[in-house]
Amino acid sequence: MAQFVAETSKAGAFVRQPNHFTDRVTADGSSGYPVESGCYRLFVSLACPWAHRAIIVRRLLGLDEHISLGIVDPIRDEKGWRFTLDEGGRDPVTGAAYLSELYLASDPSFSGRWTVPTFYDTKTQRIVTNDYPQITLDFSTQWRSLHKSGAPDLYPATLRADIDAVNADVYADVNNGVYRCGFADSQQAYEEAYERLFHRLDVPSERLSHQRYLVGDQLTEADIRFFTTLVRFDAVYHGHFKANRQKLAEFPVLWAYARDLFQTPGVGETVDFDQIKRHYYATHLNINPTGIVPVGPDVSGWQTPHGRV
């Protein structure tokens, strides 16, 4: 087992690695990667919130019939993400034992961390992208010809400006903000991230007190990006990352909203609390040196009535 060592600034603030592969699959094929059923494979960790977005969107749009899914072990070793959940310890489609093999085959000069989600072209045997924000937007916009009947429009043209604005704030202070709390290596950097995180959680609490979703009257990309952090909050971020002003279950509006999303068909069944806890507590040994994974919290509350309409 190898622990994750976060990169930080001189001031002790967590710095996220930029995405390396940024090609796109497009409806007209102008990118060199055309939309095609059965051609691509999405590699994910069920523990990772960035990958979880893609899992949810793939499921909601019915793309699970067209894009295969490869799931890595939630525990990494010194070579990174492993395919030890598969028979023989190898991905059944590519034959790889580690995600790093696919990265280095696609770019032998790559020297960063091997991240999920990773979108892979099984024909060219190359990674198309690990650009997690764009992957889900392209699922909504470029893959429309393969959406199932009745699939939701998660990125409607009339709401995109508002969705993008909400996403930018939520990313900076919530999605990435919990990591900036957990991986800060100075008191000042931690407290700054902590204040920004809880300020940003208070803002949508007010908005969601009089509307069901973050943008408009329908489920959108903004809700999915927010949800993948919220569903991990009490299990790992509150304790492990010291984001502990209060638990999600102690935000009346956000807790009801999160349960509403969890109980939406295609969403809650993608959540694996066991893999989430094992990844964070057993991988970040600089934060949790014993590697002990907590038994709680009790997750039965996610299925209780949310009362939102």
Active site residues: 48, 179
CA 186 to the chain's CA centroid = 26
Q: In the block, which residue shows the tokens 């295969």?
A: 68
Instruction: Classify the phi-psi angles of 117: left when phi > 0, otherwise alpha if psi is within -120 to 50, otherwise beta.
Output: beta
As a whole number of angstroms, the distance between CA 135 and CA 123 comes to 19
As a whole number of angstroms, the distance between CA 53 and CA 228 comes to 7
Assigned token pair, 211: 């509307």
Q: Which residues pair with 285 in a beta bridge?
A: none
Output the CA torsion sign for 287, 293, 295, 296.
positive
Assigned token pair, 162: 């508002």
CB atoms within 10 A of CB 39: 18
Torsion angle of the four alpha carbons 243, 219, 51, 280, in this order, in degrees rounded to the nearest 10: 20
Element (H, E) at 177: helix 177-182
On the 0-12 / 13-18 / 19+ scale of CB atoms within 10 A, 139 is: buried
